[in-house]
Amino acid sequence: MIRLILAGLRQRKLRAALTAIAILLGVAMVTGTLVLTSQITRAFDEIFQAANSGVDVRVSPRVDFESGGLRNVPTLPESMVQQVQGVDGVKKAVPELAALGSPVVNGEYVQSTGAPSFVFSLTPDPFRATQLASGSYPAKSGQVAVNEGLASSQGLSIGSRLGIATRTGVKQVTLTGTVTFANVSSIGGTTIVIATKEDVQRWFGLEGRVNSIAVQAQPGVSPQALARRISAALPRGVEVRTGQQDAADQAKQTTEAINTFLRPALLAFGVIALFVGAFIIFNTFSITVAQRLRELGLLRTIGASRRQVMASVVGEAFLIGLLAGVIGLFAGYGFAALLVWVFDVLLPGGIPVASAELSVGIALTALLVGVLVSVIAAVIPAVRASRVPPVAALREGAEIPRGRLSRFSPVFSGLIAAVGIVLIVLGLRSESAATQRLLVMAVGALLVFIAMGGLLRYLVPALARAIGWPLERLPGASGSLARQNATRNPARTAATAAALMIGIGLVAFVAVFAQGLKASVTGAIDTTLRGDLIISGKSFQAIPQASVAAVRATPGVSDVVAVLTDPARTDAGTRTTVFGLDPSAAARGLAFEWVDGSSDSLRDLTPREAVVEQSFADTVGATVGEEVRLRTGGGGTGVYRVAGIFRDRILFEDGVIVSQAGFARAFSARDPIFVLAAVDPGQDPVEVKDAVAKALTPFPVAEVRTNAEYRDEISSRVDSILYLLYVLLAMSVVISLFGIVNTLVLSITERTREIGMLRAIGLTRSQLRRMVRYESVITSGIGGVIGIIIGVALAWVFSLGLEDEGIVFRIPWLQLLIFLVVAVLAGVLAAVLPARRAAKLDPLDALHYE
């Protein structure tokens, strides 16, 4: 039986190859994701291990939960360094400071799109995470060393003057040396500036404070023992860890982000690609079983059992899956390299990457995925093959008896669709964790696509007529022949179109959803923000507090609201964001919809009061007059009486607004995340904006925009994510192309004799090519149209479910039209090879073909 399968595969090489490609690409995406994420996590491990190799123990402030990265890091008093130095077994204790600040070279702010810009305080050996590459470390105030990559890309040399954008303005300094970081050759676009401790403290308003304390143990004292001793000597609220532990913890944070977000997100696209591939495998095997009726019947007449016939089909699928797994494994490494390249374009140097490694786990995953998808997709065709009666060997035009349940298939499809829709709605309505809800909704969407694939065959004749209408109007018979060919086997055309339907459907879904998201956010900006200008930080950084005064002092600016934020949690663990702002300015500058209370509640806010957003109030069950207890990331607590409840599902969703004084009672953020400014009536906002920009020159991290510009900025951020999604979904569209190619090639083989007849009675080669191309376009058009309809429908259901979150439903007509054109072009492209094969057929051979 195995020899038979192998012989069959050899005989139909092209089909086997096209079929394998269908899953190969999906396997490559899955493997590539695993390879890439392990590359990234290993790179971070290496960086953190190397950077901490000289640190035996590190003392840092207690952090219960992440509070916005380096944006506002809690600090320790510098006096604690002496306290640590006094602990028995400590050889040396040194203060460490780290802040965010970009270099300014020749007046130009050096902005990296993805990677952070660090300013570190100089530490002595052996604590240094950097190695000197040239020159020397800064010896006194006004001197800095920078990473080698920055120096060479900006043309800096020893003795060059450059600026550092700090919390207290741009500081002019002299370059004394260049360094490499943690022996890692590339840390992407990350910039590193090393200055004296005193400079860093002054620049960032950290006088008398340090971020952490690095400790070297005396010989013979283990880091663990030393850590215990130091911990005992220090007050509560301080974290004491060994250097290794600290490195592992730092790496773990990054690794977790990658493993819980990047990896599942990328894997999802791999699964989609495999899903599309499964449709193609199913369809290809269905067609070949139908074409091999005689052969299968012959097997039965010479004594093969139904099980053996079934095994021959499943065995073929197994081999194709294995082939796809092996090649897909290697293609996966190519895909990982491609992703590294894509990330590099989107976030230049944003992500460090270690070299790729071949692991047994990844290899097994690739093989298993390839084989499983292929075999599962071939089960139904295999069962059908086993039903071929022996008499099929003898009789022309024998048919496979239909299964007992097959007449219920539209009912089944309907049920599957209903289950899918229910799952989506459940996911939308559910209160459980986001990942769980997403999974439930994804399974729901998957079921909807499967059901649609089953129902599509009933729509094919009508759709083919509609899409073929213009083609049939063209001179010559190619158009009507194509339409008739597309409808003669509706199930086949449906399954082929369904593969494309999935890709186009998801593309349309994200396009519609993103359009709604953009409309919601820009709408919220329009309705909530009464001011004219928004000042925000580049690369998601906070804006130095000192810049607020500069904005306020600008002529033409009438009112300024600076917004501080910190994450917080309730005792029950509910996450929220606390906003600290000037109540009376905020009452003028922000227009909320009030559920309980009014803008007066905001204006008259005392330091012990808060106004809360409705969804937060609902989650914790808070009403006006009650108190809410909020814990800070550093272990502090703030208690506020609810003075009002407002509704704002986009900008302040789930949030708690307190006064600046109230904020300072528990929270530590000093620099606002954004600043809103109103322009004096009668002043031109654009002119005032230019004046504000000039006033912000000492703080190049701050960027001022009019509301309209801010809206555009947000739209373009949504768009750039959208384009990334398009790129990842394009893979499924490409896979479905192979499906169309495969179906056309198989159909042409099946219709060889017909083609010979058509050529004999006068169909020219180009008419024949056109006939194949039109059939392809009708198929891809069906996939495109139905895909777009499902995508829009899914987006509509989602927007209904997310109505409470403020997400609206908007249809991007132009984009949808473009997708349809893409679908049609995909059809044209898919037809190239099959049309050429058809045209090459010698009419004489074709007529003799049996």
Partner 1 sequence: MGDATATNGGTGPAVSSEALGRRYGKGEAAIDALADVTIAFPRGQFAAVMGPSGSGKSTLLHCLAGLDRPTSGAVTIDGTPLAGLSDRDLTVLRRSSIGFIFQSFNLLPMISARENVALPLRIAGEGGVDDRVDAVLADVGLSDRAGHRPAELSGGQQQRVAIARALVTEPTVIFADEPTGNLDSASGQEILDLLRRAVDERGRTVVMVTHDPRAASVADRVVLLSDGRVVMDRLGMDADQVYDAVRTLDPA
Q: Kindly write out the interface string for residues 697-736 of this chain, putting x where it contacts partner 1 by CB under 8 A and - elsewhere.
A: ----------------------------------------
Nearest-approach distance from CB 834 to partner 1, in angstroms: 18
- Does residue 837 interact with partner 1 by CB under 8 A? no
Q: Which is nearer to partner 1, 211 or 485 (CB)?
A: 485
Q: Which is nearer to partner 1, 368 or 760 (CB)?
A: 760
- Does residue 670 interact with partner 1 by CB under 8 A? no
Backbone angles phi, psi at 576, to 5 degrees: -150, 170
Nearest-approach distance from CB 794 to partner 1, in angstroms: 34
- Does residue 843 interact with partner 1 by CB under 8 A? yes
Nearest-approach distance from CB 756 to partner 1, in angstroms: 8
The vertex-269 CA angle with 266 and 271, nearest 5°, equals 110
Alpha helix (H) residue ranges in 352-433: 360-386, 409-429
- Does residue 779 interact with partner 1 by CB under 8 A? no
Question: Pseudo-torsion of CA 698, 701, 706, 709, nearest 10°?
Answer: 140
Say how many C-beta atoms besides its own lie within 10 A of residue 257's C-beta: 15
Q: Which is nearer to partner 1, 732 or 747 (CB)?
A: 747
How many chain residues touch partner 1 (CB under 8 A)?
A: 26
Q: Which is nearer to partner 1, 38 or 478 (CB)?
A: 478
What stretch of H or E contains 91? strand 90-96
- For residues 823 and 817, give the distance between their C-alpha atoms in angstroms, rounded to a whole number: 10
Report the SS3 class of residue 659.
strand
The only residue of 75, 134, 484, 527 in contact with partner 1, by rule CB under 8 A = 484
Q: Where are the beta strands (DSSP E) in 198-270?
A: 209-210, 212-217, 238-242
Three-state SS sequence of 661-703 = HHHHHHCCCCCCCEEEEEECCCCCHHHHHHHHHHHCCCCCCEE
- For residues 221 and 225, give the distance between their C-alpha atoms in angstroms, rounded to a whole number: 7
Residues 395-424 that bind partner 1 (CB under 8 A): none
Please enumerate in sequence order all residues whose Cβ is within 8 A of that of 433, keeping only pairs 6 or more positions apart, or say none. Answer: none
Nearest-approach distance from CB 767 to partner 1, in angstroms: 6
Q: How many residues does the chain have?
A: 850
Nearest-approach distance from CB 419 to partner 1, in angstroms: 35
- Does residue 824 interact with partner 1 by CB under 8 A? no
How many Å separate Cα 494 from the centre of its chain? 31
Nearest-approach distance from CB 747 to partner 1, in angstroms: 12
- For residues 95 and 214, give the distance between their C-alpha atoms in angstroms, rounded to a whole number: 6
- Does residue 476 interact with partner 1 by CB under 8 A? yes
Q: Where are the beta strands (DSSP E) in 262-399?
A: none
Backbone angles phi, psi at 474, to 5 degrees: -70, 150
Nearest-approach distance from CB 487 to partner 1, in angstroms: 7
Backbone angles phi, psi at 148, to 5 degrees: -60, -40
Q: Which is nearer to partner 1, 632 or 776 (CB)?
A: 776
Q: What is the DSSP letter of 356?
A: P
Q: Which is nearer to partner 1, 130 or 487 (CB)?
A: 487
The only residue of 228, 306, 488, 575 in contact with partner 1, by rule CB under 8 A = 488
- Does residue 477 interact with partner 1 by CB under 8 A? yes
- Does residue 844 interact with partner 1 by CB under 8 A? yes
- For residues 350 and 113, give the distance between their C-alpha atoms in angstroms, rounded to a whole number: 7
Q: Where are the beta strands (DSSP E) in 669-827?
A: 674-679, 702-706
Q: Which is nearer to partner 1, 494 or 645 (CB)?
A: 494
Please enumerate in sequence order all residues whose Cβ is within 8 A of that of 210, keeping only pairs 6 or more positions apart, or say none. Answer: 75, 76, 77, 78, 80, 81, 95, 96, 97
Q: Which is nearer to partner 1, 239 or 775 (CB)?
A: 775
Nearest-approach distance from CB 473 to partner 1, in angstroms: 12
Pairing relation of β-strands 57-61 and 212-217?
antiparallel
Q: Which is nearer to partner 1, 91 or 765 (CB)?
A: 765
Residues 52-71 that bind partner 1 (CB under 8 A): none
Selected range binding partner 1 among 232-240, 409-417, 477-485, 648-656, rule: CB under 8 A: 477-485
Nearest-approach distance from CB 846 to partner 1, in angstroms: 10
Nearest-approach distance from CB 765 to partner 1, in angstroms: 6
Q: Which is nearer to partner 1, 427 or 756 (CB)?
A: 756
Q: Kindly write out the interface string for residues 540-579 of this chain, putting x where it contacts partner 1 by CB under 8 A and - elsewhere.
A: ----------------------------------------
Nearest-approach distance from CB 409 to partner 1, in angstroms: 22
Neighbour-count burial of 525, counting CB atoms closer than 10 A to its CB (0-12 exposed, 13-18 middle, 19+ buried)? middle
What stretch of H or E contains 173? strand 169-181
Backbone angles phi, psi at 438, to 5 degrees: -60, -40
Nearest-approach distance from CB 849 to partner 1, in angstroms: 11
Selected range binding partner 1 among 70-78, 483-491, 601-609, 690-698, rule: CB under 8 A: 483-491
Residues 738-767 that bind partner 1 (CB under 8 A): 753-754, 756-767
The only residue of 83, 180, 480, 558 in contact with partner 1, by rule CB under 8 A = 480
- Does residue 604 interact with partner 1 by CB under 8 A? no
Q: Give the binding site for partner 1 (CB under 8 A).
A: 475-477, 480-481, 484-485, 487-488, 753-754, 756-767, 843-844, 847
